[in-house]
Amino acid sequence: MKKTLSTYQVTIIALGIVLNVVGAFIALTLRLPIYLDSIGTIFIACVLGPRYAVLTGILGSFVSGMTFDIYSLFFMPVQITTGLIAGIIFEKDFLKGGKIFIGVMAFSIPTSILSAIIAAFVFGGVTSSGSSYIVQILSVFGVNKIVGVFFTQVLTDYTDKFIAVVIVKYAVSLVPNNIINKLKFKNSYMEINNG
């Protein structure tokens, strides 16, 4: 395996960071009940594997947190978990064909739990995300805030990650083979465009 990153690989990591930041900005601005902040992390998990996906998630959270959404810094562990598990799930071919639903669940459940813990215990269930509206609506109907946060996180995280995986699979299928070959390490993570 190569010890250093090529210019193509560094560029792709930068693209992943931009995808995370722009996605998060769109979701925050439109108050969407999903986050769109992990598309780049999942893309890098597919292209370069978990190690670089974790790096992408950390840097994306840092940029978002320092520019428009301070909450992103607190949710950095979620990006780390997403990058790590998504890379492993891609490597094990759990995002091909009918296995995609189980594959997405395999990395959205741990991230949902982590997100819910952060949202409930650090922020009392109210964050900058549009999903906070769901928590507040559930609260009005008498649902315990912690239960509401956990329910909301599981629902919105799965939806968010599923959308991200579909976008990534489509994007990777459009990448020309000569670019794929320049990006590949010895163990390729880019074999999802066949499933």
Confidence (pLDDT) at 179: 81
CB contact at 8 A, 166 and 195: no
Domains of the chain: 7-189 (1.10.1760.20)
DSSP assignment of 101-162, as one string? Answer: HHHHHHHHHHHHHHHHHIIIIIHTT--SSTHHHHHHHHHHTT--HHHHHHHHHHHHHHHHHH
Higher pLDDT, 177 or 139: 139
Confidence (pLDDT) at 5: 82
- The pTM of this model reads 0.90
Confidence (pLDDT) at 185: 56
Query: For residues 57 and 71, what is the distance between their CA atoms, to the nearest angstrom?
Result: 14
DSSP assignment of 29-49, as one string? Answer: HHT-SS---SHHHHHHHHHT-
pLDDT in tens, 159-183: 999 999 999 999 988 988 888 777 7
Residue 181, C-beta contacts closer than 8 angstroms, at least 6 positions apart: none
pLDDT in tens, 20-70: 999 999 999 999 999 999 999 999 999 999 999 999 999 999 999 999 999
pLDDT in tens, 81-122: 999 999 999 999 898 888 999 999 999 999 999 999 999 899
